[in-house]
Structure 1
Amino acid sequence: MGDRSNAEPRPGGTPRRVELGLRQNAAQFTLLVVVNALVGGMLGQERTVLPLLGAEEFGITAYTAGLSFILVFGISKAATNYFAGTWSDRFGRKPVLVAGWLVAVPVPLMLIWAPSWTWIIVANVLLGVSQGLTWSTTVVMKIDLVGPDRRGLAMGLNEAAGYAAVAATALATGYVAEAYGLRPEPFFLGIAFAALGLGLSALVVEETREHARLEATGHVARADGKHDHLHGELTNGQVFVQTSFKEPALSSASQAGLVNNLNDGLAWGLFPILFAAAGLSIGEIGVLAALYPAVWGAGQLVTGALSDRWGRKWLIAGGMWLQAVALALIALAESFSLWAVAAVLLGAGTAMVYPTLLASIGDVAHPAWRARAVGVYRLWRDGGFAVGALLAGIVADALGVPAAVWTVAALTAVSGLVVAVRMYETRHRPDVV
């Protein structure tokens, strides 16, 4: 695929050569990796500090109320993911990316100055919209650039950058908060990330929609006949139905993505409170809050590429089951060392799942409607934040935090079973008959 090319006019009339392939687009791909790391940093600024801020500064005692910031984040991000795909096809990828960064600018300022929990809620609505626009668009742009042969690697690099930044920022804000307090210093990082992300996206990132159009002109049906009925243009409604319910691989990926982020919402909102109740310091909580996304981020450098070689299905199913085991260990453990082991296992399981799900969507969805399919998948996946916050809060208020962790562990195990039973292997190698 790497030798296929076309010419796209630049502003001013000079044609830019459009080619598919990681090597051919190395500069823009690397730039998008950096941009997505900044996107992850915007999310990471909240992972350690915000649950503690709700309990200590705003007096939030009920778990359901304390998780409200994750609930609104999940709803706004999920909805925005859907529109991000549609808008990327209609207006281009770059305008959507820049718009996402513009929405992000006030978020750290609102977190710093918030006089009430309502301000925190509104800031997280904006953060969800921003994450939906920016993260979705960087995913689509990388898929556009690399073509079909290195899709798993591309998603591994994208998600690794984002979640490594989540981890690094969660760790840094934990130490800053321990040294200087919960506000304002931990959120200074978010101000810097927003400024850099907006500047790079507006001034240096280039449009990639023509790469998708180039791939579509040479798109070849699979020799095994899988998903031939999905070739060509589909309406928005058809894309939603196929990705959500009808097409076995797409819908299996959507439910697995939802459950994956359901347990991430639990980890984000309740783990710091669970660890604090056990007597851990803010610094130790920061280490645990960072360890899980750090392993998740770094692991994707391996798992994304492995899915190109080994296939998608069993990495996804196995990753969901490993997450379930890790959550069970967190519910049982009572010490920093055991929680650290569980965080590593949870990160490893998520690394197996996260880029592989995105790659499977790219495998099945036709280039003509792939951005919309990614948007629908991410609608379901990030809706898991909202479902997780609501479910975990209700169960924790009724039965305690360990019961909430056990509930999510069981749902995660069942999700892996759905993938094992319903999903077919989407990674088709033409050399394998």
Structure 2
Amino acid sequence: MTHVTAGPRLGIRANLGQFSLLVAVNALVGGVLGQERTVLPLLAEQTFHLSGYTFLLTYVLAFGATKAAANYFAGTWSDRFGRKPVLLAGWLVAIPIPLMLIWAPSWDWIVAANVLLGINQGLTWSTTVIMKIDLAGPGRRGLAMGLNEAAGYLAVAFTAVTTGYLAAHYGLRPAPFLLGVAYVALALGLSGLMVRETREHARLEAARHTSRNDGMDHNPHAELTNRQVFVQTSFREPALSAASQAGMVNNLNDGLAWGLFPILFAAAGLSVARIGVLAAVYPAVWGLSQLVTGPLSDRFGRKPFITAGMLVQAIALALVGSADTFALWMVAAALLGVGTAMVYPTLLAAIGDVAHPAWRARAVGVYRLWRDGGFAIGAVLAGVIADLWGLRSAVWVVAGLTAVSGLVVALRMYETHSRTNCPPTTRTRKEGPGTRARQAVPSVRP
């Protein structure tokens, strides 16, 4: 008789129920974000009569700054207290957000709601990322991140187009934000009653982990300090630091798309419904394409997708800055979605490839600190440039920065993931500039 030892197992298939539940929870995270995507820039102009793009973008700045900080603490707290308590805390913070958006008597309330939104998104999205990496193990991180990010951004797209429809037919408030009330209530129930802790899965992977030969984790049981993790992820480790800057620039241009694209489209005479469609196309293509790009990065490697994706985004932004018709903007939005899909799940998978399981959650938090700090930087940069030289100038400047970021990845980042021609029992990281050869890491397939 065969005895099966109870305990955590690694792999998507082995954890399909919990993994699928976390995909659904992250879709609700995206939905809470998507309730603002179409309506809030229009609310700023039409209800609060704001003048000046910099002031209008204060809500993106508030969101980006607080989300960046929340990402960092989500990583450290997940290691200290567990993943599930951090996830629940993020959903508790979300309760007042849609109500504040509905009843806000002044723009200050909108900014305050976006501070809470940043905390909610940082804690919940970061934690679902960490939990899926825990469950998936090393073999299918690209697929895991593709599914996670696809769920989140498809929900952003669905909610953006739905709120645009509701706003066109029932007004800017309260109808579009009632979706947010439903999302938060459902997410709280699922997270509290059905989601299970995954920290033991990370510990299992750490126990099986083979040390790297570059001095970073020569003792897999030794804990790096938070400062050491920050320095390695931000500056010292070539792949981690290249990923961090690329993530920051990616969200810099996403902040531009969120805050200024609807104003650009409205200035060209597009209706609210058409603006809603354009606001939805970009995250919809982004979300769907990640179902392809994430798994393909498991097969062909991370670096080609990240480099090419940043350059595709730059081309798309240049097209937005030069176009003046709905059809061309549709093409540009779809192209921007494809480029972002090539980058987004692949960057997260690369962090998971390099960071040791003992400090991986903190590395994810540091990466997401830089990445979502891009929202705040983008809000200030795009707002100032738009005020001084116009909307299209802001788009062109961000397009140039995105192209430079892609070149930085091409020059600095080494390949972090093995190709399929490696033996199925081992994975080796390809040696690159500034790195020494790494020992084989056992593969745990789902």
What TM-score, normalized by structure 2, do the two folds share? Answer: 0.92
The structural deviation recorded for 1:228 is: 4.8
Distance 2:81 2:288 in 1: 33
Structure 1 contact 87–96 (Cα < 8 Å) conserved: yes
Note the residue ranges of structure 1 that are not aligned, 5 or more in a row.
8-16
Structure 1 residue aligned with 2:132: 142
The structural deviation recorded for 1:229 is: 2.3
Alignment-mate amino acid for residue 386 of structure 1 = A
Alignment-mate amino acid for residue 295 of structure 2 = A
Structure 1 contact 230–365 (Cα < 8 Å) conserved: no
The structural deviation recorded for 1:216 is: 0.2
Alignment-mate amino acid for residue 229 of structure 1 = M
The correspondence for 1:402, drawn from 379, 392, 405, is 392
Alignment-mate amino acid for residue 291 of structure 1 = V
The structural deviation recorded for 1:71 is: 0.1
Distance 2:229 2:49 in 1: 44
The structural deviation recorded for 1:214 is: 0.3
The structural deviation recorded for 1:29 is: 0.1
The structural deviation recorded for 1:378 is: 0.2
The correspondence for 2:237, drawn from 244, 247, 256, is 247
Distance 2:210 2:279 in 1: 44
Structure 2 residue aligned with 1:53: 43
Structure 2 residue aligned with 1:229: 216
The correspondence for 2:113, drawn from 123, 128, 131, is 123
The correspondence for 1:199, drawn from 189, 195, 205, is 189
Pairing 1:297–2:279 present: no
Pairing 1:270–2:260 present: yes
The structural deviation recorded for 1:61 is: 1.3
Alignment-mate amino acid for residue 216 of structure 2 = H
Structure 1 contact 33–158 (Cα < 8 Å) conserved: yes
Equivalent residues in 2 for 1:38-187, closer than 5 Å: 38-187=28-177
Distance 1:230 1:350 in 2: 31
Structure 2 contact 238–412 (Cα < 8 Å) conserved: yes
Partner SS, residue 8 of structure 2: strand
Partner SS, residue 21 of structure 1: coil
Structure 2 contact 45–51 (Cα < 8 Å) conserved: yes
Alignment-mate amino acid for residue 391 of structure 2 = V
Alignment-mate amino acid for residue 146 of structure 1 = A
Partner SS, residue 229 of structure 1: coil
Distance 1:200 1:306 in 2: 31
Note the residue ranges of structure 2 that are not aligned, 5 or more in a row.
429-446
Between stretches 232-241 and 411-420, larger displacement belongs to 232-241
The structural deviation recorded for 1:73 is: 0.2
Distance 1:130 1:314 in 2: 32
The structural deviation recorded for 1:314 is: 1.0
Distance 1:130 1:283 in 2: 28
Alignment-mate amino acid for residue 242 of structure 1 = Q
What per-residue deviation string (whole Å, max 9, x for no partner) do you get for residues 23-43 of structure 1?
100000000000000000000
Distance 1:281 1:181 in 2: 13
Partner SS, residue 25 of structure 1: helix
What per-residue deviation string (whole Å, max 9, x for no partner) do you get for residues 260-302 of structure 1?
0000000000000000000000000000000000000000000
Partner SS, residue 139 of structure 2: coil
Pairing 1:372–2:362 present: yes
Structure 2 contact 11–136 (Cα < 8 Å) conserved: yes
Alignment-mate amino acid for residue 87 of structure 1 = W
Partner SS, residue 260 of structure 2: helix
What per-residue deviation string (whole Å, max 9, x for no partner) do you get for residues 36-92 of structure 1?
000000000000000000011001110000000000000000001000000000000
**RMSD (Å), alpha carbons:** 1.1
The structural deviation recorded for 1:220 is: 1.5
List structure 1 runs of 4+ shifted beyond 6 angstroms. none
